[in-house]
Amino acid sequence: QQQVKQSPQSLIVQKGGISIINCAYENTAFDYFPWYQQFPGKGPALLIAIRPDVSEKKEGRFTISFNKSAKQFSLHIMDSQPGDSATYFCAASGKGSSNTGKLIFGQGTTLQVKP
């Protein structure tokens, strides 16, 4: 119940295309869903996050779509650029003392954007 399942494991997209990464969760107590971007040799950087009271959030070329009934959320990268080539992680967190400060991460998606 504490797992977050992420797919695909790897993704190759042409420059200018749309990259889509999906995540699914089981725990209905989760109430915070961030996405992180990680480049080799760096720590994860927060990209965008959503809470279950909205179905979509957009920041620049990055959009999170959230489907509460299906317990799924996805990251869309519009107009993908070679500089977006990185590993992307979805995560989830819940309320309560047992969840304080704890993010549960998906396994990651390695994105390659070809010029």
Partner 1 sequence: KAGVTQTPRYLIKTRGQQVTLSCSPISGHRSVSWYQQTPGQGLQFLFEYFSETQRNKGNFPGRFSGRQFSNSRSEMNVSTLELGDSALYLCASSSAGRRGGKNNEQFFGPGTRLTVL
Task: List contacts with partner 1 (CB under 8 A).
Answer: 31-32, 34, 36, 41-46, 49, 89, 91, 93-108
Q: What's the closest the beta carbon of residue 78 comes to partner 1, in angstroms?
A: 23
Residue type, 107: Q
- Say if residues 54 and 66 touch (Cβ distance below 8 Å): yes
C-alpha torsion 95→98→100→101, nearest 10? -120
Q: Which residue, 20 or 48, is less far from partner 1 as judged by CB? A: 48
Q: What's the closest the beta carbon of residue 79 comes to partner 1, in angstroms?
A: 25
Q: Which residue, 73 or 80, is less far from partner 1 as judged by CB? A: 73
Q: Which residue, 66 or 89, is less far from partner 1 as judged by CB? A: 89
Separation of alpha carbons 97 and 89, rounded Å: 24
